[in-house]
A = this chain, B = another copy of it.
Amino acid sequence: MFESAELGHKIDKATYDTEVPKLREDLINAQFNLAKKAKFPVIILVGGLDGAGRGETVNLLNEWMDARFIQTHGMGEPSDEEMERPMMWRFWRALPPKGRIGVFLGSWYTWPIMNHLQGHTKNAALIRSLERARRMERMLTDEGALIIKFWLHLSREQQKARLKMLEADPKTRWRVTDRDWEHYKMYKKLRNIHETVIRHTSTAEAPWLIVEGADPRYRSLTVGKIVLEAIRKRLKQENIKTSKVLAPPLLTSIDNLHILKSLDLSQQIEKNKFSVELEKCQGKLALLTRDPRFSNITVIAVFEGNDAAGKGGAIRRVTGALDARYYNTIPIAAPTEEERAQPYLWRFWRHIPRRGRFTIFDRSWYGRVLVERIEKICSESDWMRAYSEINDFEAQLVRHNIVVIKFWLSISKDEQLHRFKEREKISFKRFKITEEDWRNRKKWNEYETAVCDMVDRTSTKIAPWTLVEANDKDFARIKILKTLCRQIEAAMKKN
């Protein structure tokens, strides 16, 4: 795989000096067109061997291009903030929006490679993390991103020569560290790992481009030209997103029975029993979240449900038991402009809390397979792929000790009508009922189908859905509090 990148490619100074001005002009123009049309982001990964010129390449791209539209991320050691969140969080927060270029020096490949090189992980674990990278990139390209992955390579002799050269020059000496020489000693091992990485993650949608790093002029011109060509080629393509759905249709119930119908919505709790239970449950939750062991976990509670099912009231009963410094409620409404310029899951990733925190999502990433599906805000292919993307997302959270607790608050169609009318009568509740609520109500059956598909496809052992019978608000609140306590307790015992 590295054959072509060990040939001793070279560009002479005269050629370089002639070509660069034109290339820079073209790059700036391409960038400008990209920003103007703003239909997709460009993600450039720069990986490779120590001394192969990764840093110089990134600096050069910055120098050549318009700084307003390009941003560089040196992904070195993760910060405290980052360590307390799943590994991918730091990349999500750094993703460029549509129309912009993000350059990553070090990427989601860096730590899997380092961990494996240092013997912390076995081959199987390396390959699993590579598969996760593959899926991440597939999601990004499905969302329209242009991913350009450069791998800067050197032969063993070239690496030695480069490191020596950098050391000899007082201006660059600081760039050669002990770790670089250690890695040089492990050249063969590292090269084998790199080959595994490239073989597993060079896909049709995001292939690795291996560039020989020994000659700076060759390297720079090659990288610059590829970036230019890639942006130009993509700008010519209309309508980047694939809209074809190759899958068979999802199951629909042919006997009129489905999980929501299996709920006994008549369940209630007596008023005075409720006050006792509420105090007990809130007290327990308060204790649990103040337990020292809670600092090792994170809780994310997701609230979804029919309109007027009582999400708000239930959430208030939960937050009533929590310490205001450690919880956060995220109400999810229509995405902002900034959020629309990013892949779908971006606006949820940004709210993923640190350790020891409790975050409540009032509506969530499930919007895509509920309202966005029904109202055709996204295409069929978008919501079809969302199921597995959401499962991947939640698996990342769970792997990072995050307890994901998901509630669907279910009320009957009659109860909803009753509540809508109540709301219209009471002046201080009137703001809670809108034309949209009445419109959604007309699509009751479609929403039911979407909820069943959602539960079937995303209720997993690691992040199960809890269906809450919510015709009686108090019954729902107690069930929610008990579920939270039980799942937090279980998670703390595991740690």
Contacts and interface: CB of A to CB of B under 8 A. Distances in A.
Contacts of A222: 251, 254
A24 to B, nearest CB: 16
Contact of A199 (B381, B385, B391): B391
Interface string A32-52: 000000000000000000000
Interface string A1-36: 101110111110000000000000000000000000
Contacts of A59: none
A259 interface: yes
B195 A461 contact: yes
Interface stretch (A172-180, A202-210, A306-314, A344-352): A202-210
A246 interface: yes
B218 A254 contact: yes
A443 interface: no
Contacts of A237: 244
Interface string A116-141: 00000010110110010000000001
A207 B254 contact: no
Interface string A232-245: 01100100101011
Contacts of A203: 385, 388
A465 B122 CA distance: 28
A251 B254 CA distance: 53
A95 interface: no
A257 interface: yes
A237 B248 CA distance: 12
Contacts of A146: 246, 248
A457 interface: yes
A339 interface: no
Contacts of A8: 257
A254 B228 CA distance: 14
A229 to B, nearest CB: 5
Given A9-B255, A226-B248, A246-B240, A456 B3 contact: yes
A7 B461 CA distance: 18
B124 A257 contact: no
Interface in A216-271: 218, 221-222, 225-227, 229-230, 233-234, 237, 240, 242, 244-251, 253-255, 257-259, 262
7 contacts: A4-B258, A7-B259, A204-B385, A207-B247, A221-B254, A222-B251, A225-B254
